[in-house]
């Protein structure tokens, strides 16, 4: 049998088509950045985070930092499955509002911190937004850090860049990332507090100025913004205290760094409390000013009413139309009554002016 005839009976089989991998679940998603760090040096291979985490799990000197921004529940559910996060630790990951706290779940820790940003404004009014807030969740394990950010404030690109320049510090592990995030947030709190201090001082000067123009709604608006800022900052004190007291949780080499962050946080809390007290004082002063202004207005109204009452009384008497009334037949009676009215107005005005009512 010739080769040609054999090929006709047994045609060559086509090579199977290569299998196309399904779309990556996190493609075009909320992943901001993901990196594998070994001894504080970033691995530039650009592996997806499941593969990067698998490599970090085999190397005691490596860990993965995955950064997310406002993931959907489905996206974060897959992240939680890869890193083995506890279901209770995951339940707040996609929530829009969270309170600062710290919880331990077996072999990993969840820390929730609030972010803040000062909003520039030309002038303070009842619609001004002074402080914008968001929150960040930090999941820490032995070989991973997962950060989930909600809201515009608190972007972590600069934090990551700074840490990558401090290789020795980054080599201390995932808790070095937690310190860098909290340190940057507390520094931001201090910047916001300084900016709010300018608003409070300007408002105080306007309230006690000779020409007062500040509406009481402006004071309430600034007070509301400070309350929002306070909710972001003050509750963080408790998790920080717990963290410093837990000897097993925090690496010894990082304790002094977290202590410095705690001191700065306490300073910001003191500033916020002082702003709140000062605004309460300014508000009470403004209410007292309004009460005094109202009393002054009422006294002026009463004084002018008294002057008008005198003229009404004189006009009423001469409008009785009695036949036998003095001055009715006097040639200059009309002009005499006008003079009497003018004199009465002048005398009453001088009396009220001397007493301070006018």
53 with 34: CB under 8 angstroms? no
pLDDT computed for residue 8 by the predictor: 42
Residues 6+ apart with CB under 8 A from 250: 175, 243, 244, 258
pLDDT computed for residue 349 by the predictor: 83
Question: Position of tokens 């947030």?
Answer: 185
Question: Structural domain boundaries of the chain?
Answer: 31-289, 291-355
CATH fold of 31-289, please?
Answer: Beta Polymerase; domain 2 (3.30.460)
Cα torsion at 269, 271, 272, 273 (round to 10°)? 90
pLDDT computed for residue 211 by the predictor: 67
Categorize the per-residue pLDDT at 358 as very low, low, confident or very high, splitting at 50, 70 and 90.
confident
Average pLDDT, integer, range 195-221:
78
pLDDT computed for residue 15 by the predictor: 37
Residues 6+ apart with CB under 8 A from 57: 143
pLDDT computed for residue 214 by the predictor: 56
Question: Is a pLDDT exceeding 80 seen at residue 332?
Answer: no
Categorize the per-residue pLDDT at 233 as very low, low, confident or very high, splitting at 50, 70 and 90.
very high
Average pLDDT, integer, range 230-255:
86
Average pLDDT, integer, range 191-198:
91
Residues 6+ apart with CB under 8 A from 91: none
Question: Is a pLDDT exceeding 90 seen at residue 187?
Answer: yes
pLDDT computed for residue 136 by the predictor: 93
Categorize the per-residue pLDDT at 56 as very low, low, confident or very high, splitting at 50, 70 and 90.
very high
Mean pLDDT of the chain: 82
If phi > 0 it is left, if psi is from -120 to 50 it is alpha, else beta; for residue 356 that is left
If phi > 0 it is left, if psi is from -120 to 50 it is alpha, else beta; for residue 40 that is left
What is the per-residue pLDDT across 77-99, written as a single tens digit (0 to 9) for each? 889 999 999 887 777 787 777 78
pLDDT computed for residue 37 by the predictor: 95
Average pLDDT, integer, range 202-229:
78
What is the per-residue pLDDT across 125-182, written as a single tens digit (0 to 9) for each? 777 788 889 999 999 999 999 999 998 887 899 999 999 999 999 999 999 999 999 9
- Higher-pLDDT residue of 116, 334: 116
pLDDT computed for residue 120 by the predictor: 85
Categorize the per-residue pLDDT at 210 as very low, low, confident or very high, splitting at 50, 70 and 90.
low
pLDDT computed for residue 327 by the predictor: 67
Categorize the per-residue pLDDT at 38 as very low, low, confident or very high, splitting at 50, 70 and 90.
very high
pLDDT computed for residue 6 by the predictor: 44
24-33, 240-249, 304-313: segment of lowest average pLDDT: 24-33
Report the alpha-carbon angle 25-173-269, nearest 5. 95
pLDDT computed for residue 23 by the predictor: 44
Categorize the per-residue pLDDT at 107 as very low, low, confident or very high, splitting at 50, 70 and 90.
confident
At residue 238, φ and ψ (nearest 5 deg) are -65, -50
Which CATH architecture best describes the domain 291-355? Up-down Bundle (1.20)
Nearest to 202 by CA among 135, 261, 146, 278: 278
Average pLDDT, integer, range 35-45:
91
pLDDT computed for residue 25 by the predictor: 52
- What percent of the chain is predicted at pLDDT more than 90? 34
Joined tokens for residue 55? 């490599």
């Amino acid at each position: 049998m010739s080769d040609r005839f054999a090929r006709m009976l047994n045609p060559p089989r086509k090579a199977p088509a290569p299998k196309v991998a399904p779309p990556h679940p996190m493609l075009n998603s909320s992943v901001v950045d993901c990196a594998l760090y070994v001894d504080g040096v970033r691995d530039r291979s650009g592996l997806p985070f499941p593969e990067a985490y698998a490599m970090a799990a085999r190397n005691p000197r490596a860990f993965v930092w995955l950064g997310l921004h406002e993931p959907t529940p489905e996206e974060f559910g897959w992240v939680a499955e890869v890193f083995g996060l506890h279901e209770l630790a995951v339940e707040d990951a996609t929530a829009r509002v969270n309170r600062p706290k710290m919880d331990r779940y077996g072999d990993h820790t969840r820390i929730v911190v609030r972010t803040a940003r000062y909003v520039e404004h030309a002038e303070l009014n009842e619609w001004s937004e002074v402080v914008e807030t968001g929150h960040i969740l930090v999941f820490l394990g032995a070989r991973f850090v997962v950060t989930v950010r909600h809201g515009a404030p608190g972007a972590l690109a600069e934090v990551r860049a700074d840490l990558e320049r401090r290789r020795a510090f980054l080599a201390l592990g995932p808790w070095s990332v937690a310190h860098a995030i909290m340190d940057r947030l507390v520094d931001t709190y201090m910047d916001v507090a300084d900016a709010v201090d300018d608003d409070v001082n300007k408002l105080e000067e306007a309230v006690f100025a000779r020409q007062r123009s500040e509406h009481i709604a402006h004071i309430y608006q600034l007070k509301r913004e400070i309350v929002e800022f306070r909710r972001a900052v003050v509750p963080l004190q408790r998790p920080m205290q717990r963290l410093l007291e837990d000897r097993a949780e925090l690496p010894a080499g990082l304790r002094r760094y977290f202590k410095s962050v705690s001191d700065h946080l306490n300073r910001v809390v003191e500033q916020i409390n002082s702003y709140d007290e000062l605004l309460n004082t300014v508000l009470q002063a403004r209410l007292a000013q309004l009460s005094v202004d109202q009393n002054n207005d009422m006294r002026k109204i009463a004084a002018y009413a008294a002057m008008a009452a005198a003229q009404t009384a004189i006009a009423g008497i001469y409008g009785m139309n009695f036949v036998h009334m003095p001055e009715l037949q006097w040639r200059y009676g009309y002009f005499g009554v006008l003079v009497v009215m003018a004199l009465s107005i002048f005398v009453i005005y001088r009396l009220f002016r001397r007493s301070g009512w006018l």
